[in-house]
Amino acid sequence: MFYSINPRTRLNFLLNHYSPNNGYITPTMGRRVIQDMTNLYGINADYQQVWRNLETNCALQNGFVPQEAFTNYFINHPAYSAAFYNGVQVPIPPPSPQL
């Protein structure tokens, strides 16, 4: 279903759906999304390092990162961007044995 939807739209949908902070990402929400994407796409990234990078390069609002800056970070990050555009390869389990 998501194959025809661009990565920016997918990520913004996720953030809008699960983050009630009017366009800003809390550190807790950021940790959850970063760790989930890191695990899903198999990317070696440290949440604290990613969040520090976002804090350093974004105009924070009461400790929150603007959602647009958060989205842009991942869309422009080489490893995440490649994963977004190449998709996730999920292995299909072997068929159940016939008894």
Quote the pLDDT of residue 57. Answer: 83
Is residue 89 predicted with pLDDT exceeding 60? no
CA distance 43 to 78: 11
CA distance 87 to 99: 35
Calculate Rg over the CA atoms of the chain.
16
pLDDT in tens, 24-73: 898 888 898 889 888 888 888 888 888 888 888 887 777 888 999 999 99
> If DSSP codes are grouped into helix, strand and coil, which group holds residue 40?
helix
CA distance 74 to 11: 9
pLDDT in tens, 21-33: 788 898 888 898 8
Residue 33 lies in a domain: yes
Quote the pLDDT of residue 98. Answer: 60
Quote the pLDDT of residue 58. Answer: 81
CA distance 79 to 93: 27
Per the structure, the complete domain to which residue 79 belongs is given by 2-86
Give me the CATH number covering residue 18.
Answer: 1.10.238
If phi > 0 it is left, if psi is from -120 to 50 it is alpha, else beta; for residue 63 that is: left
Residue 37 lies in a domain: yes
Quote the pLDDT of residue 4. Answer: 62
Q: Which element (helix H / strand E) includes 10?
A: helix 7-18
Residue 63 lies in a domain: yes
Report, as an integer, the average pLDDT of 6-23: 81
